[in-house]
């Protein structure tokens, strides 16, 4: 497993307070490369335009299914 300082994390949640809580918790563990997005569309834009696909994807998403969002994103690009 890589050192905590080498881990990059993307937090996706529509609530600022939840994103802040997660960011602060990760910082206590030594993870400081943290990006935030408010929704799935923003997260996919980040993945495919900024950083490439994720190595690990954990999610709980209400609304559109992730696979549907990914397909829609592919069709837009």
How many CB atoms within 10 Å of residue 33?
A: 12
pTM of the model: 0.68
Domains annotated for the chain, with CATH where assigned, are 4-76 (3.40.50.2300)
Query: pLDDT of the chain along its 77 residues, tens only?
Result: 678 788 888 888 889 999 999 999 999 989 898 889 998 888 888 877 776 655 555 555 555 555 566 666 566 65
- Give the model's pLDDT for residue 27: 92
C-alpha span between 50 and 62 (Å, rounded): 24
Compute the distance between CA of residue 64 and CA of residue 60 in angstroms, rounded to an integer: 11
């Amino acid at each position: 497993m890589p050192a905590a300082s080498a881990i990059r994390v993307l937090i996706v949640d529509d609530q600022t307070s939840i994103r802040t809580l997660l960011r602060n918790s990760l910082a206590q563990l030594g993870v400081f490369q943290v990006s935030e997005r408010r929704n799935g569309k923003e997260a996919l834009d980040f993945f495919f335009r900024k950083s490439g696909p994720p190595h690990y994807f954990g999610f709980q998403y209400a609304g559109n299914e992730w696979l549907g969002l990914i397909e829609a994103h592919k069709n837009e690009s």
